[in-house]
Amino acid sequence: MSLIISDILHHLHINNINEAFSTGSNWGSSPDAAVKDIFSPTDGKKIASVKMATATDYNAVVESAAKAFKTWRTIPAPKRGEIVRQIGEQLRVNKKELGTLVSYEMGKSLQEGYGEVQEMIDICDFAVGLSRQLYGLTMHSERPEHRMYEQYHPLGIVGVISAFNFPVAVWSWNAMLAWVCGDVCIWKPSEKTPLTAIACQHIAQTVFKANNIEDGVSCLVIGDREIGELMANDTRVPLVSATGSTRMGKAVSAAVGARLGKSLLELGGNNAIIITENADLDMSLIGAVFGAVGTAGQRCTSTRRLIIHEHVYEAFKQKLVNAYQQIKIGDPLNENNHMGPLIDQDAVTLYLASIEKCKAEGGNFVVEGGKLDGDAYSSGCYVKPCIAEVENHYQIVQHETFAPILYLIKFKTIEEAIELQNGVPQGLSSAIMTQNLREAETFLSYAGSDCGIANVNIGTSGAEIGGAFGGEKETGGGRESGSDAWKVYMRRQTNTINYSKTLPLAQGIKFDL
Ligand code: NAD
């Protein structure tokens, strides 16, 4: 085990990673559980060996969660909120270590690792307030001396399937809201980033224990996609919240839909920034470069396309090319570097194949890509961020390549720019850079961006937790995090109470005996 990892685990009081869960739920206890070695994309070192859950383990976890739900739902929501507040406090205490672990295991820059933990803290704070605001509506009954209202009840078990690129934040967006709503959670993290998940489970479970809450409210199952498939098909799991590729989302949606369960899908994006001739080009540059190279282009909200007005196209291209020369690539734990590695060597292969496809379709690379070699890049996961001039209709441009490849597309009119922006199967994040009110408002209007997120003078990448987060079309339609996203974690019930001495029927229907 690497030194960084043992220090962090020591700080988090995790003595044995394969026992960290024993303070929560019992995945990996089957004697036939397979063991998977986990390697850091940062330096290629083996981080740990983690037991993978079997179907038997999964079942045991579901049973423990189902049992815990019966008690957890009886605890008043503000008291559940108090426990989430304490989890937020523990995340504050452990921010540095957890952020470092995120950075080392996943490969994003240390600043982004800390940022991800901060996002968890923010959603805890949000959920604490929410725990006193799970409001229903009251409405006037058409019948005399009747009262009508709506209330929200917890759903039960919420299954959370998460992706490698936000190994901890996505879980917290789901779990903190689900917990204050009275649900229990089973988390199946990405098999590529199990250690951060074990650390989070450990932190949460320590708080639950200190509050004498029985095991099963917070559950973790480390496993491959087969565990996700079990969850998607499991009628004991009323809601499956799945974050990952569109391919995965289609499979989960079909399985959950076939049993008429609920799914919340957060899938791939193909995000564009429109840069008009009225844009502040310096501001646009920061938004574009951070959006394209941050997390090595492995954010669902990463900027993949720049749609640039013909009058500023050449000038902006030159600025981009110059900026790309300044980008420092290397160990993400070294804060001088802007960009770390891709998640693994398979991701490098996909990146290289996408470059080839783009060239074959006619793409003109103004900043060349390629794999980086040498001692500093010995994990084999480091690549160069690159820029290509393309047409929006190229197959490769229509596809989300999870890597730092930025496409440049030229436009003449704002209407054309919006059409190009919307002209992809995905609908997650979008942005316009302009100081012109008409352009900005057109972009935000019903005739504008078709994405779940539409920003003005901000890039596509990153979002605050206060708004509902998610996207349309192949991004899946789900909404997580802030605003009223909590409603998906609860079931709605309409109640009508008759306090009169007769039984009038709705719509004035007569029925006398
Ligand atoms: P992935 O789809 O390969 O895996 C995501 C998770 O789904 C993993 O835990 C995996 O084990 C599980 N899984 C895979 N196939 C499954 C199946 N058939 N049934 C059930 N579970 C299954 O994605 P990834 O490579 O880890 O992550 C990258 C993708 O995630 C990108 O497409 C990115 O845009 C997307 N993403 C979207 C958001 C969002 O909020 N919209 C956020 C983060 C990542």
User: What CATH number is attached to the domain comprising 371?
Assistant: 3.40.309.10
Q: Is residue 412 part of a domain?
A: yes
**CB of residue 161 inside a 6 A radius of ligand 1:** yes
* Whether 298 and 182 share a structural domain: no
* Whether 52 and 142 share a structural domain: yes
Whether residue 119 contacts residue 113, with contact meaning beta carbons closer than 8 Å, is answered with no
Q: Is residue 508 part of a domain?
A: no
Going from the C-alpha of 153 to that of each of 118, 138, 164, 485, 493, the distances in angstroms are 29, 16, 31, 15, 8
* Whether 48 and 114 share a structural domain: yes
Name, in order, each residue with C-beta under 8 angstroms of 318's C-beta and a sequence gap of 6 or more.
none
- Under DSSP, the state recorded for 214 is P
145 Cα: distance to centroid of ligand 1 (angstroms): 52
Task: Output the pLDDT for position 19.
Answer: 57
- What does the radius of gyration of the chain's CA atoms come to, in whole angstroms? 24
Amino acid at the residue 366: V
Task: Output the pLDDT for position 114.
Answer: 97
From atom 11 of ligand 1, which residue's Cα is the shortest distance away?
225
* Whether 322 and 242 share a structural domain: no
Alpha helix segments (H runs only) across 264-309: 281-293
* Whether 174 and 159 share a structural domain: yes
Task: Residue 458: give the domain boundaries.
Answer: 271-467
**CB of residue 251 inside a 6 A radius of ligand 1:** yes
* Whether 341 and 364 share a structural domain: yes
From atom 19 of ligand 1, which residue's Cα is the shortest distance away?
229
Phi, psi (deg, nearest 5) at residue 372: -95, 135
**CB of residue 233 inside a 6 A radius of ligand 1:** no
- Under DSSP, the state recorded for 507 is G
Name, in order, each residue with C-beta under 8 angstroms of 325's C-beta and a sequence gap of 6 or more.
none
Task: Output the pLDDT for position 24.
Answer: 47
Domain holding 91: CATH number?
3.40.605.10
The catalytic residues are 266
Quick one: which of 441, 437, 470 has its CA closest to 453?
Answer: 470
Q: How far apart are CA 491 and CA 493, in angstroms?
A: 7
**CB of residue 243 inside a 6 A radius of ligand 1:** yes
Q: Is residue 333 part of a domain?
A: yes
Alpha helix segments (H runs only) across 279-382: 281-293, 310-326, 345-361
Helix (H) or strand (E) holding 48: strand 46-51
Whether residue 349 contacts residue 383, with contact meaning beta carbons closer than 8 Å, is answered with no
Helix (H) or strand (E) holding 307: strand 303-309
Q: Between vectors from CA 233 to CA 229 and to CA 238, what angle results, nearest 5°? A: 120
- Under DSSP, the state recorded for 329 is B
370 Cα: distance to centroid of ligand 1 (angstroms): 25
Q: How far apart are CA 384 and CA 328, in angstroms?
A: 10
Cα 385 from chain centroid (whole Å): 23
* Whether 58 and 90 share a structural domain: yes
**pTM over 0.85, yes/no:** yes
Question: What's the structural domain count of the chain?
Answer: 2
Q: How far apart are CA 262 and CA 136, in angstroms?
A: 20
pLDDT tens, N- to C-terminus, the chain (513 residues):
566 777 777 777 776 666 555 444 556 667 778 889 999 999 999 988 888 999 999 999 999 999 999 999 999 999 999 999 999 999 999 999 999 999 999 999 999 999 999 999 999 999 999 999 999 999 999 999 999 999 999 999 999 999 999 999 999 999 999 999 999 999 999 999 999 999 999 999 999 999 999 999 999 999 999 999 999 999 999 999 999 999 999 999 999 999 999 999 999 999 999 999 999 999 999 999 999 999 999 999 999 999 999 999 999 999 999 999 999 999 999 999 999 999 999 999 999 999 999 999 999 999 999 999 999 999 999 999 999 999 999 999 999 999 999 999 999 999 999 999 999 999 999 999 999 999 999 999 999 999 999 999 999 998 899 999 999 999 999 999 999 999 999 999 999 999 999 998 889 999 988
Q: How far apart are CA 299 and CA 270, in angstroms?
A: 10
Strand-pair partners of 468 = 481
Q: Is residue 168 part of a domain?
A: yes
Cα 508 from chain centroid (whole Å): 49
Q: Is residue 75 part of a domain?
A: yes
Q: Is residue 95 part of a domain?
A: yes
Q: Is residue 156 part of a domain?
A: yes
243 Cα: distance to centroid of ligand 1 (angstroms): 5
* Whether 331 and 359 share a structural domain: yes
Closest ligand 1 atom to Cα of 471: 41
Task: Output the pLDDT for position 13.
Answer: 75
Whether residue 206 contacts residue 193, with contact meaning beta carbons closer than 8 Å, is answered with no
* Whether 257 and 288 share a structural domain: no
C-alpha atoms less than 13 angstroms from C-alpha of 450 in its C-beta half-sphere: 18
Task: Output the pLDDT for position 274.
Answer: 98
* Whether 369 and 328 share a structural domain: yes
Whether residue 363 contacts residue 389, with contact meaning beta carbons closer than 8 Å, is answered with yes
* Whether 335 and 187 share a structural domain: no
Task: Output the pLDDT for position 27.
Answer: 63
Quick one: which of 340, 56, 53 has its CA closest to 201?
Answer: 53
228 Cα: distance to centroid of ligand 1 (angstroms): 10
* Whether 245 and 284 share a structural domain: no
Q: Is residue 220 part of a domain?
A: yes
